[in-house]
Chain A
């Protein structure tokens, strides 16, 4: 059973470009979470999605950031017009059910904005 997959593992973007980060949850998991780890900071929740629905986006910046989890295909975290402060490791996690169930994390995408 493959784990949570994220791609790309490393992404370099110039200021002003768009970044698209992909996450495929574990087989059988329909709940996806995105977290961000800024340099020298802890992991912070960004958004929680189920198939075709955003359930909780309380941790996501209001501008330039969006997320989706379509009926078919991976979950996408999209950052428009990236700035240097967006440089971070972005982790995706998935769980089998809603609620207080164990979350399994992917290897992360390390975004560098130059």
Chain B
């Protein structure tokens, strides 16, 4: 059974810091891994999707890496801003259709 874990559960940093969010999964036979952002009371915004054949994906100040063999992915946020404050979720597909989510990392960037 696939299980997804995210650490830390919460993170508070001053504006401008670079930070890393971690995601681990128990079954390394994944097709891809998706990172989402969720603002309070809102839906999920897809940030990055990394295919299993890829090592990393970049979008602006975000960089996600994937190491299937070790069952890990990291989301790197450069030069953090208060607007980055949100909950960050990672998810992997199981059985071809359903996503299994981690519990998320609550990020607060202080100005």
Contact = CB atoms under 8 A, between A and B. Distances in A.
B34 A102 contact: yes
Interface string A37-71: 00001111100100000011011000000000000
Interface stretch (B17-25, B65-73, B77-85, B92-100): B92-100
Contacts of B43: 6, 91, 105-108
Interface residues of B, number: 24
Contacts of A91: 43-44
A108 B42 contact: yes
B98 A100 contact: no
A4 to B, nearest CB: 8
B63 interface: no
Contacts of A33: 97-99
22 contacts: A42-B101, A42-B103, A43-B89, A43-B91, A45-B99, A45-B100, A55-B97, A56-B95, A56-B98, A59-B98, A91-B43, A98-B96, A98-B97, A100-B31, A102-B46, A102-B49, A103-B46, A104-B46, A105-B36, A105-B43, A105-B45, A108-B43
Contacts of B103: 41-42
Interface of B: 31-32, 34, 36, 41-46, 49, 89, 91, 93, 95-104
B42 A107 contact: yes
A110 interface: yes
A55 B49 CA distance: 24
Contact of B98 (A41, A45, A108): A45
Closest 10 A-B residue pairs measured CB to CB?
A100-B31, A45-B98, A107-B43, A105-B44, A43-B101, A48-B97, A42-B103, A100-B93, A108-B43, A102-B49
Contacts of B98: 33, 45, 48, 56, 58-59
A6 to B, nearest CB: 8
A38 to B, nearest CB: 12
A45 B36 CA distance: 15
Given A42-B89, A43-B44, A105-B44, 5 more contacts: A41-B103, A48-B97, A99-B97, A103-B99, A106-B43
